Chain A
Amino acid sequence: MELSRGFRRILDSVALDVFRGEFLTIVGGSGTGKTSLLRLLGGLTPASAGDIRFRGRPVNGPPEGVVVVFQDYSRALLQWRTVAANVALGLEGRLGTAALKERVARALEMVGLQHCAGDQPWQLSGGMQQRVQIARALALQPDVLMMDEPFGALDAMTKATMQDELLRVHERTGTSFVFITHDIEEAVYLGDRVVVLGGSPGRIHTTVSIGLPRPRDQIATRQSPEFLQHRLDIHAAVRESAGGDAHF
């Protein structure tokens, strides 16, 4: 697929497959079109050329079974609704009250926020707010969760906690993940495959399969020689794709 906006081509001849149940991470420097790619896959932006299919059917607008989670959680949440009401947003009108309550409770439990159901988002920390957004997406029991640098605004410690939580959700639910980040280590730590997006207009430079065993560990995995090798390879790939000057 391709994406052009105005006179600028943002993405050029991108061909990508996402497999069921996999955790796909996409890395690239700033300006390579990562967010645009996610919006294309999530049905939020139409492609200028080429096509996008989900389960064999063309994507025209956000498809059923795909949900996008955004980086700016405080703007993506309805700050005037309680946490539980936020999580329920996508289900209202689609499920009966009892079923809805049950799903909301389960989604909150999956991200560890069951005790915050009655709080307002603005009373919570950044990491917790992002978890509310994730719970809101999970409540819909989607097939694919698209995440646009969801941990970019969080501090390192919260980030690590959230990464592990995400992996746990992935393991429990079998949902596919498409995860965008500029943090190469995060991409390797989380992913089954890492796609390197680079250049302007953005193109897929390489795709690397990550053979690290699951479950992953913040200390052990990150120090393993395979991890370090992957990291090196992807660094090189990113630098190459940026034409020698990588800034991210």
Chain B
Amino acid sequence: MRISRFNIPGLVTILVLLAGWEILVRSGAAKFDYLPAPSGILLASVSLIVSGELFSQALHTVESILIGWTAAAAIGIGLGLALGLSPLLRRWSLASFEVLRPLPAIAFLPLALLLFNFSLTTELVLMIYASVWPVFINTMGGVMGVTSRLYDVSRTLRLSRMQTLVKVIVPAAAPAIVTGCRLSMGLTLVMAIVAEMIANPHGLGYAVISELQAMQPQRMFAYVIFIGMLSIALNAGLLWVSRHILRSHRWAHADHA
């Protein structure tokens, strides 16, 4: 989906809004005492970058996200493959998973705090619990959706079970698996921020809360906007990687065009 011409109206809208915001705050017309002006936020961002504070907080969050996301992907793919390939396993366990699935991960936060205290473990546990689901469900769906024709093919070509799994099933389910991993990244980020706000005093989430408590609106907004940009960057990055991995699968996208 490429925009052949640069989205001028979009850019203009944003600039107009920023200008309006600046004027609103400068003139004192808005009744929010603590609303910072864009110029103030910009200055605060620069100072945070220069002092290295932004980087160190961001590093903590990004590191936890990567660990959590990778772990969730590994667990989710494993579970998804197991339940996708084995009707027996599904029959005797899927309902248990489906009962747990609607439970919002955030409801587990106090429990995790109880068990693991204010630590990285709490953050990781929360992240992994939330992010496993999209990977698991999508992988299972992808594996179960492999057309029976491909099983016929692997049998008539007399492929071994391992060959069938590696050469036929996993590649056929790859688009679904990759999508699941992509979706889980969004959840991982959200849970990381939440955990840092409440349960682990490190990272970007914690920084936002501490700036709030220190009554530093410019710095707080700077962190907020940075988090937004991080989210966009992570998603865009993952989208690019997934397109690259699935470049041979373009036919699958063509079907859904």
Asked if A23 is an interface residue, CB under 8 A from chain B, the answer is no
Task: For A80, give its contact among B149, B156, B248 (CB under 8 Å).
Answer: B248
B249 near A76 (CB under 8 angstroms)? no
Which A residue's beta carbon lies closest to that of B174? A80
Task: Assess A75 versus B150: contact at CB under 8 Å? Given A61-B155, A67-B157, A140-B157.
Answer: yes
B205-257 residues at the A interface, CB under 8 angstroms: 248-252, 254
B152 near A93 (CB under 8 angstroms)? no
State the CA gap A68–B171 with chains docked (Å). Answer: 22
Prevailing SS type, chain B contact patch: helix
A70 near B149 (CB under 8 angstroms)? yes
A93 near B163 (CB under 8 angstroms)? yes
Which A residue's beta carbon lies closest to that of B157? A90
Size category of the binding interface on chain B: 20 to 34
Size category of the binding interface on chain A: 20 to 34
Which A residue's beta carbon lies closest to that of B149? A75
Which A residue's beta carbon lies closest to that of B163? A93
Among B156, B157, B251, chain A packs the most CB atoms within 10 A around the CB of: B156
State the CA gap A80–B170 with chains docked (Å). Answer: 11
Asked if B167 is an interface residue, CB under 8 A from chain A, the answer is yes
State the CA gap A5–B205 with chains docked (Å). Answer: 60
Question: How many whole Å from B58's CB to the nearest CB in chain A?
Answer: 36
25 pairs from A and B in contact (CB 8 Å cutoff): A44-B152, A62-B155, A62-B158, A64-B158, A67-B157, A68-B156, A70-B149, A70-B152, A70-B153, A75-B149, A76-B149, A76-B152, A78-B168, A78-B172, A79-B249, A79-B251, A79-B252, A80-B172, A81-B171, A90-B159, A92-B167, A93-B163, A120-B248, A121-B251, A122-B251
